[in-house]
Amino acid sequence: MIAGEAPIDTEDGSALLHEQFRILRRQVPTMYLVMIVNAWFLSFATYGAVSPQLSYGVPAILSAAAIFRALRWLRRAPAPPSDATIRRYFQGVLGACVVLSVAFGGWGLILFERADLVQRTCIGLYIFISAVICGHSLEALPTAGRLMLLCGAAPVTVRLLLTGETFLIGLGVNLVFVSALIMRMLSTSHSGFIEVLSSRSEMLSEREKAREAERRAHRLAYHDPLTGLPNRRALADQIEAAIVDPAGGKGVALLMVDLDHFKGVNDVHGHPSGDMLLRDVAARLNELVGQDARAFRLGGDEFAIVSNLGVDEDAPRRMARRIVQGLSEPFAEGKMVHHIGGSVGISLFPADAHDRETLMRRADIVLYRAKESGRGQYRSFEPRMDAEIKRRSALETELRASIAADEFRPFYQPLVELESGRTTGFELLARSPRHSDEIGPDQFISIAEESGLITDLMLQLLRRGCADALQWDDRLTIALNISPVQLKDVWLSEKILATLAGAGLPPRRLAVEITENGLICDPDNAKRTIESLKNQGISIALDDFGTGYSSLRHLRMLPFDEIKIDRSFIQSLDSDPEALKFVRAIVGMASTLGMPAVAEGIESESIARLLRDIGCAYGQGFHFGHPMSGAEVTALQGARPGGGLRVAG
């Protein structure tokens, strides 16, 4: 370490070294220029009093040495050198200062001895001024500045004090005081220099911390913390940028990706396992899209891919196909293996949309269609899809308003005992309150399920059904369909029983129909709901048997009262021998299990007779009557007791 300097082995010390070097690189050449000028001025002042060698030779040598050192500093590379190199430069400065100041001071002493009073005064002043200016130029390296004063000015100053001449002694005393002040100034200046540098370093450090905090905030704002992928905000920005500046491309392709069966992983294995799976999905998506596109996570199990369109217009569909195939491959997590999948919706700019919001909305629409088509598929946007989604949105708004206004009315389709032809009850059906452009149940029921309105609609219809049934023969029952979505409601049985109690209808007069698919969605809750309803006297029917996940395990484990055979088998019964074999097997199985079979969709007498002959107990369909309002059922029963509406006893 250079004597008198601050420690330079720390990070701040390194900054000090570089700042000293920066200042010295600017000031050292100027210092050498001053030394050269003063040397020649001194030569001029003593001209004639000394030999030409001392008058011209010595300043020439001093000037050559100063020029050499100045050029070395000027020719140094602009790139910042290493700390070790700077230390080596500083050692060179110290050595040069000692050599040149001793040479300059010694030359001054020789001239002093041969000069008159005036010349001695000039010699003392020139040497001292040179030493002061050089010392000031080296204030960034105060040790070198002190050496300049000690080796250059001190010898002449001492000689002035020893001359015995009052004038020169006074000059020498003055130079002593000025030298002391210069020494003090060098120390104070260097301390201030270090403080300023330290303050600047702290300021730069704080500024860097602020920038790092800003970068972290930006990353949190634009990246998903779980997967590390860019998030929805980053997606919006990238689409906007690509739309404004397509960078020579033909447009932008947006692929919305939604994972299939991901919820089951969370439910069965827990959220930590689900989080790990999402990270694996993100990594796989990055591999699948490569450098041609960028993957984003939008939240939950939804992702997005953005790519620029080129000459190949089929590239987005090929990418979607790779994604679907890639996500269908198993994901290994320790000893567990997850089998999920993915559905993809594709929307293109400018072919399908002219702004970001429309592009994203239409990609969502197509994704919905892909999942609706059976999952594990990819679809591209078609104009009719937008019209359909707007229509569904309008229908949902209307559905909410109709439920809130209690406008839905139940209709009833007769359930008939095939052997006797007597009516045993009615299946309660929902019909839209719109009289013009009537909407079928296949439309508004699915919308009610998606929007979470299905239970409100069902309970509203059940209340009205109970009120109607109380006007009929108390041997007639009403059957109510329960959707798979409703079976996820842990309070479903309580809601149904509360509605019956409020209306005053005995539970034995209600039958609840549940599809096999509903048993798959949430089997534990479905079992609790069925057992709760069964314990209160409500009949339970397994609806649409033969479709979905047909399983004898359901019939063995759950207390069903009857099996309803799906209409798809009944309508071709008299023309398709295979359908007849299948229906005969179901009827035989039901008989063996001690429960009646009910055939849906009977539309002719021949099919009704065939079913009766093979032992099917009950049937319903247009052959026995179209759906009727509650008032029509009441009127028919009152107008023809025992006739038009024959009640099974």
CB 428, CB 462: distance < 8 Å: yes
Among 306, 219, 224, 308, residue whose Cα is nearest residue 257:
306
How many Cβ atoms are within 10 Å of 372's Cβ, its own excluded? 13
Cis peptide before 350 (omega within 30 of 0): yes
Question: CA 171 to CA 124: how far, in whole Å?
Answer: 8
Considering only the top CATH level, what class is 393-639?
A: alpha beta
Q: In the structure, what pLDDT confidence band is assigned to residue 283 with cuts at 50, 70 and 90?
A: very high
Which residues share a beta bridge with 425?
Answer: 415, 477
What local confidence, expressed as pLDDT, does residue 303 receive?
A: 95
Among 342, 291, 349, residue whose Cα is nearest residue 321:
342
**Dihedrals φ, ψ of 270, to 5°?**
95, 165
Question: CA 93 to CA 10: how far, in whole Å?
Answer: 23
Reduced to 3 states, what is the DSSP secondary structure of residue 156?
A: helix
Mean pLDDT, range 410-435, rounded to an integer:
88
Q: In the structure, what pLDDT confidence band is assigned to residue 639 with cuts at 50, 70 and 90?
A: low
CB 613, CB 583: distance < 8 Å: no
Question: CA 235 to CA 343: how far, in whole Å?
Answer: 19
Q: In the structure, what pLDDT confidence band is assigned to residue 599 with cuts at 50, 70 and 90?
A: very high
pTM exceeds cut of 0.75? no
Q: In the structure, what pLDDT confidence band is assigned to residue 205 with cuts at 50, 70 and 90?
A: confident
Around 204, how many Cα atoms within 13 Å sit in the side-chain half-sphere?
9
Inform me whether the pLDDT recorded for 272 exceeds 80.
yes
Inform me whether the pLDDT recorded for 609 exceeds 90.
yes
Question: CA 200 to CA 197: how far, in whole Å?
Answer: 5
Q: H helices within 487-629, ranges in order?
A: 492-503, 516-521, 523-535, 552-557, 567-570, 577-592, 605-613
Question: CA 487 to CA 411: how far, in whole Å?
Answer: 23
Sequence-distant (≥ 6) Cβ neighbours of residue 298 within 8 angstroms: 231, 232, 235, 304
Inform me whether the pLDDT recorded for 30 exceeds 90.
no
Question: CA 461 to CA 396: how far, in whole Å?
Answer: 18
How far is C-alpha 379 from the chain's CA centre? 24
Tokens read off for 172: 């020498």
Could you give the percent of the chain with pLDDT greater than 70?
A: 91
Inform me whether the pLDDT recorded for 488 exceeds 90.
no
Considering only the top CATH level, what class is 232-381?
A: alpha beta
Condensed to tens digits (0 to 9), the pLDDT of residues 162-200 reads: 887 888 888 778 878 877 777 777 777 767 667 766 777
Inform me whether the pLDDT recorded for 7 exceeds 60.
no
Question: CA 223 to CA 217: how far, in whole Å?
Answer: 10
Q: H helices within 245-376, ranges in order?
A: 262-269, 271-289, 315-328, 356-372
